[in-house]
Amino acid sequence: MTKVAIIGFGSRGRMFGNLIKEDSDVELIAIADTEESCRAYGRQCGIPENMCFDSADSFFAQGKICDAVFICTQDAQHIDMALKAMELGYDICLEKPAAVNIEDCIAIRDTANKLGRKVMLTHVLRYAPFYQQIKKAIDNGILGEVVTLNQTENIAYWHFALAYVRGAWRNMANSSPTIIAKCCHDIDIINWLIPAKCTSVSSYGNLYYFNRAHAPEGSADHCADCDPKVRESCIYNAYSIYPERMNTSVIGGTAHLKGKDICAVLDSKTEVIGKCVFRGGNDAIDNQVVNMLFDSGATAHLTMTAFSERCYRYIKVHGTKGEIYGDAEDGILYLTEYGKPQQVIDVNKMTDRNLDDGHGGGDYFLYKDFIDYITKDSPSFTRTTIADSIECHLMGFKAEESRLKGGIPLEINL
């Protein structure tokens, strides 16, 4: 039996906890979370009281008590926890981003190499059957050589407001740049699919909409104080968004509010989720474009936008012999070998797994691969090495640096 622990039992930690529950070969022996409500949830999941630790530090103080840890705390906390876990001898499934600056990312990579620890970043998209089909079409040569790739991350207006205007990622200095926080998966996918090395990136982006310039007349710092007519007509009205969504899921940074009377929380004006989206002091940008050049001559383009109805990713890959495109949430791919009829590939029919949640099946398959990695070291077509993950992070951090420097191209050199 493989024994694991989860540090940070919020949204992502609970997701992994649920997958472990389904797996008869793996036992979740401990959780650590600073919030009592999260530890209470741990006890409900069958973890004994004395194994529900009140912080990562009190968990680490026990020494090495299991085979591996899942680190699912917030972005800026990963570095210290990852280094400590490796020092104690743990292999790690590390939530993305590895860290909030490139120096710390490199420290994680180098420590893993020096101590011989297995550290896998949660690049879930690679594991989604949708992207696996695209990878196979490229590796089989059906598309010929990949020349251009376009990826769009449509965050959805309501999701952006929850996570990047009012949520844990609203302030880039306290979390990570939006291109890292939201798009390190997209950059990973682009880097995985294009069989070449990225040599240069350039980027533009800004906070276009969620700022004081767009605050309607009659709005106030908190929805609680907004003119009722203005609030009624606002699509970001916290009273209409949160109570329902918090009943059905845990939103990053809000696990401690689960089970509370959300309208009373909003009335109290004590939580950031009740702030006006135009007056909250957030600085996470709501649109960004990144251009990438690869050493094969291939080019790629990534658009990140807050402004869409649905939360979905769209990809189009153009090769010398064919093209493939699709919407990852639909799970339908359109593949054309030039001069031949178009094929429609429905990835939903390719697995028994429900692909509707968990990043198109990616969370489940990533979890399984991590367990295979630490128990059998079996080869995997999909697995990302810590070195590859850190290279993708560098592309993201360089894109952010380019954006801040007015879009100048910057070399990728690790």
Chain contacts with ligand NAD (rule: CB under 6 A): 7-13, 32-35, 38, 55-56, 72-75, 77, 95-96, 122, 124, 168, 181, 250, 252-253, 255, 359
Among candidate residues 302, 291, 293, 102, the one with its CA nearest the CA of residue 196:
293
Which of 260, 405 has the CB closer to ligand NAD?
260
Q: Which two tokens stand for residue 284?
A: 């996470």
Residue with tokens 């196979």: 136
Shortest distance in whole angstroms from residue 311 CB to ligand NAD = 12
Residue with tokens 């899921």: 249
Which of 117, 185 has the CB closer to ligand NAD?
185
* 3-state SS class at 41: helix
CB-based closest residue to ligand NAD: 10
Shortest distance in whole angstroms from residue 398 CB to ligand NAD = 19
Which of 165, 181 has the CB closer to ligand NAD?
181
Which of 319, 362 has the CB closer to ligand NAD?
362
Shortest distance in whole angstroms from residue 359 CB to ligand NAD = 6
Shortest distance in whole angstroms from residue 395 CB to ligand NAD = 17
Q: For the beta carbon of residue 313, count every other beta carbon within 10 angstroms.
A: 23
* 3-state SS class at 7: strand
Which of 7, 345 has the CB closer to ligand NAD?
7
Shortest distance in whole angstroms from residue 296 CB to ligand NAD = 28
Shortest distance in whole angstroms from residue 322 CB to ligand NAD = 30
Phi and psi for 147 in degrees, rounded to 5?
Answer: -110, -45
- Distance between CA atoms of 30 and 50, rounded to whole angstroms? 9
| Phi-psi region at 89: left, alpha or beta (left = phi > 0; alpha = psi -120 to 50) | left
Which of 75, 400 has the CB closer to ligand NAD?
75
Q: Establish how many alpha carbons lie within 13 A of residue 376's alpha carbon, considering only the half-sphere containing its beta carbon.
A: 8
Which of 122, 151 has the CB closer to ligand NAD?
122
- Angle formed by the axes of helices 102-115 and 78-88, to 10°? 10
Which of 80, 221 has the CB closer to ligand NAD?
80
Q: For the beta carbon of residue 73, count every other beta carbon within 10 angstroms.
A: 22
Angle, CA of 401, 405 and 407, to the nearest 5°: 90
Which of 38, 238 has the CB closer to ligand NAD?
38
- Distance between CA atoms of 323 and 30, rounded to whole angstroms? 47
- Distance between CA atoms of 365 and 369, rounded to whole angstroms? 6
Q: For the beta carbon of residue 339, count every other beta carbon within 10 angstroms.
A: 7
Shortest distance in whole angstroms from residue 220 CB to ligand NAD = 27
- How deeply is 106 buried, as exposed, middle or buried, from its count of CB atoms within 10 A (0-12, 13-18, 19+)? middle
- Distance between CA atoms of 296 and 290, rounded to whole angstroms? 18
Shortest distance in whole angstroms from residue 127 CB to ligand NAD = 11
Shortest distance in whole angstroms from residue 298 CB to ligand NAD = 26
